[in-house]
Amino acid sequence: MTYSCTSQSSYQLLHLNVASLSPCQYCVKHSLTRNIVAPLVPSGMPQNISATYDSPTSARISWQPPLARQRNGVITMYQVRYQDKHNAIDLRADNTSETSLVIEELTAGSQYFIQVVAFTSAGAGPTSHRIVYNTVETSESVYRSKRSAHRIVSQEMLAVFCSGFVFQHNM
Burial class (CB in 10 A: 0-12, 13-18, 19+), 118: buried
Q: 109-139, pLDDT tens digit by residue? A: 999 999 999 999 999 999 999 999 999 987 6
Q: What CATH homologous superfamily does 47-137 map to?
A: Immunoglobulins (2.60.40.10)
Q: 28-53, pLDDT tens digit by residue? A: 444 555 556 678 999 999 999 999 99
Residue 22 is predicted with a pLDDT of 52
Does the CA dihedral 139-144-148-154 come out positive or negative?
Answer: positive
Taking residues 84-113, report their average pLDDT: 95
Tell me the domain boundaries of the chain: 8-39, 47-137, 139-171
Residue 92 is predicted with a pLDDT of 97
Whether residue 101 has pLDDT greater than 90: yes
Q: Which of 11-15, 28-32, 167-171 has the lowest mean pLDDT?
A: 167-171
Taking residues 77-96, report their average pLDDT: 94
Q: Residue 152 belongs to what H/E stretch? A: helix 139-162
